[in-house]
Structure 1
Amino acid sequence: MNYFPFSRRTPLRLTFWFGIAVIGVFGLIPAIAVFVISFTNIRGLPGLPVDWVGFENYVRWFSPAKVGYNLNALRNTIVYSVTVTLISNVLGIAIAVLLNQKLRGRNAFRAIVFLPTVLGVTVIGLIWTLFFNPGGGPAATVWSWFGAKSAFFGDPHLALALVIFVQIWMGLGVNVVIYLAGLQAIPEDLYEAAAIDGATGWQRFRNVTVPLLAPSVTANVLLSIVGTLQSYQLAYVLTGPSNLATQLLSLALFSQAFGGNAASGLGNTQGYAATISVIQFVIVGIASSLVLIYLRRREAKL
């Protein structure tokens, strides 16, 4: 039996168990700790007593005093996640198909598309904050041509849409790279055979590209859903932690655990933040599992 790159089975087993140990120490144990902390009133300040409060934090999350704020954060999170996932994957496939053609300078265009992914969230936030500066940014100038003004990220009717736009711009490069890898794995013979049979460009895309690109679609959709359901950094940098129009569930968690949030009426309580984290974990787990089951069945049908 081939144990490449190991000559014997023992090093292979040691490597496997070492990987399991690393995952357990840095993944499983912290997750269990967060779950346990969610049943306490720990506040992260030295010297304060820590009491076991049971399901009090969970009851508090669903209480009438908090349900309005939490439902708003949950609604924004769902809109944010679904919109970013759909648009980024549709654009990702379209751009990947275009950049997979034999075009002059396509490597340069690929680099340009991937460039925003390399930039940090803070840099991206600064760029777009300056661009949408209501006091004299390029967007304000264009707005003024039509005799209109806007606060952009300060506008409750526009802020979430702008954050979604920036998120799509920032993460599109990863989608394109994955789709490009999937496209380049499709044999050219299949396209040639379809062309000989008289298939049009759209028919080749529908009957050859889409079925064979299904695994890439599954990977990208899952990455987008999990990433956006857990994302808060971009909304925090662009609009701050207290803007109810862009309040996401993960941002509420961050504000509760580390910064406090006047809009939510919450203090700096790590126990309650752990409760939000557990609820978020359940939501992400259910959403990703349902999407994975659906996409795997679609792959089998295609």
Structure 2
Amino acid sequence: MAPGLALFLTFALVPAIAVVGMSFTDISGMPNVPWHWVGLDNYRRFFSAGAVAANLDVINRTLVFALSVTVILNALALLLAVLLSGRLRGAALYRSIVFMPVVLGVTIVGLIWSLVFNPTGGPAASLWSSFGSSSSFLGDPKLAFTLIIFVQIWAAIGTTMMIYHAGLMAVPADLYEAARVDGANAWHRLRHVTIPMVAPAITANMVISIVGSLQTYQIIYVLTGDRPTTSVLALKVFSIGFGTSEQGYAAAVSMIQFVLVAVIALVLLTYLRRRETQL
């Protein structure tokens, strides 16, 4: 236990405490540049009159992104898990294909979809042109955010599906047989047998999805960069932390993000745990 505790303190707790401390300073991260204790100034700056509208817009976009990804991702992943956990021929191969984006990495995924949505010769542009239309896709301020949500779901659905698949494998086949004998159709079996039995997997996947989505910035950065129409809170932290010399302010924004993630995750976990006993 001691080595594990030492690793936790070294790589998790100590850096977290350091970030909290940095958020109350004007540290720049530059060598030989003195820093000063500024108290709550970084937090006041985030919610100041000149910045609050833009920052609240980023938070709102972050919540829309996380909610959209979480709901759609889990619905599709559960459906795929049910379809590919039965007697379908080649189910293992299909599961491997669905899981493949997980092992590609963010950069490869971003490159693939940047090529697909290339407005000057990409497959999506060719398809669009066949209908007599055109689009700039990731360059379109209104469409880009929707496409990013789609790509994020595509990239993450493999892991989510496999967690549901593991849960489904633990459901006794006798329950389905009994339901069929009682005249339950496919929907009733899904609603009254499958979902209650995989409720712990649903809870785990929902919490993992919402936390991961609230912290996601990599795929957005690869696809569109830091644009006002696609920026989320995690990307704002990244841009400030690595694009400016305001490490203290970046730490403060990251703490605001941490509070947002922690509150949402705790509320969701509490709700889903209660729902498990009611299904």
For normalisation by structure 2, the TM-score amounts to: 0.98
Name the CA distance, whole Å, in 1 between partners of 2:187 and 2:95.
Answer: 23
- CA deviation digits over 1:274-300, x for unaligned, max 9? 001100000000000000000000001
Distance 2:123 2:177 in 1: 47
Letter in 2 for 1:247: S
| Rounded Cα–Cα distance in structure 2 between residues aligned with 1:202 and 1:157 | 36
Q: Distance in 1 between matches of 2:260 and 2:42?
A: 17
**1:249 lines up with 2:233 in the alignment:** yes
In the TM superposition, residue 200 of structure 1 has moved relative to its aligned partner by: 1.8
Instruction: Assess if the C-alpha contact under 8 Å between 1:88 and 1:168 holds in 2.
Output: yes
Distance 2:216 2:191 in 1: 33
Whether 1:208 and 2:189 are equivalent positions in the alignment is: no
Match of 2:130 among 145, 153, 174: 145
> Partner of 1:126: helix, strand, or coil?
helix
Aligned residue in 2 for 1:278 = 255
What is the match of residue 163 of structure 2?
Answer: 178
1:68-217 residue pairs with structure 2 within 5 A? 68-217=53-202
**CA–CA separation in structure 2 for the residues paired with 1:131 and 1:205:** 35
Q: Distance in 2 between matches of 1:69 and 1:256?
A: 14
Aligned partner of 2:203 among 201, 204, 218: 218
8 Å contact 2:163–2:201 — kept in the other structure? Answer: yes
Q: Note the C-alpha offset of 1:146.
A: 2.4
Would the aligned equivalents of 1:72 and 1:247 in 2 still touch at CA under 8 Å?
no
Question: 1:96·1:177 contact (CA, 8 Å) conserved in 2?
Answer: yes
- The separation in 1 between residues aligned to 2:187 and 2:136, in whole angstroms, is 42
- The one-letter amino acid paired with 1:282 is V
Calculate the aligned-residue CA RMSD, in Å: 0.9
State the 1:151 CA deviation: 1.2
Name the amino acid aligned to 2:164: Y
Structure 2: how far apart are the matches of 1:157 and 1:273? 28
- Percent identity, aligned pairs only, is 53
* Distance in 1 of aligned mates of 2:182 and 2:57: 53
Q: 4+ residue stretches of structure 1 with deviation over 6 A?
A: none
Amino acid at match of 1:124: V
Amino acid of the structure 1 residue aligned with 2:146:
A
1:180, distance to aligned residue in structure 2 (A): 0.2
Q: In structure 2, list runs of 5 or more residues that go unmatched.
A: none
Query: Does structure 1 conserve the Cα–Cα contact (< 8 Å) formed by 2:30 and 2:245?
Result: no
The reply to whether residue 290 of structure 1 matches residue 274 of structure 2 is: no
Larger radius of gyration: 1
SS in 1 for 2:133: coil
For 2:183 and 2:133, locate their aligned partners in 1 and report how far apart those are by CA, in whole Å: 52
1:238 aligns to 2:238 (yes or no): no
Q: CA deviation at 1:129?
A: 0.4
Tell me the alpha carbon deviations over residues 89-147 of structure 1, each in whole angstroms, 9 at most, x when there is no partner.
Answer: 00001000000011111111010000001101111111100110011111111111222
Q: Which residue of 2 aligns with 1:262?
A: none
SS across alignment from 2:108: helix
Instruction: Output the TM-score relative to the length of structure 1.
Output: 0.91
Provide the rounded CA distance (Å) in 2 between the counterparts of 1:76 and 1:182.
Answer: 32
Report the alpha carbon displacement of residue 68 of structure 1 after superposing the two structures with TM.
2.2
How many residues are matched?
279
Cα displacement (A) at 1:198: 2.0
Does 143-152 or 220-229 show the bigger shift? 143-152
Question: Any conservation in 1 of the 2:234–2:257 contact (CA below 8 Å)?
Answer: yes
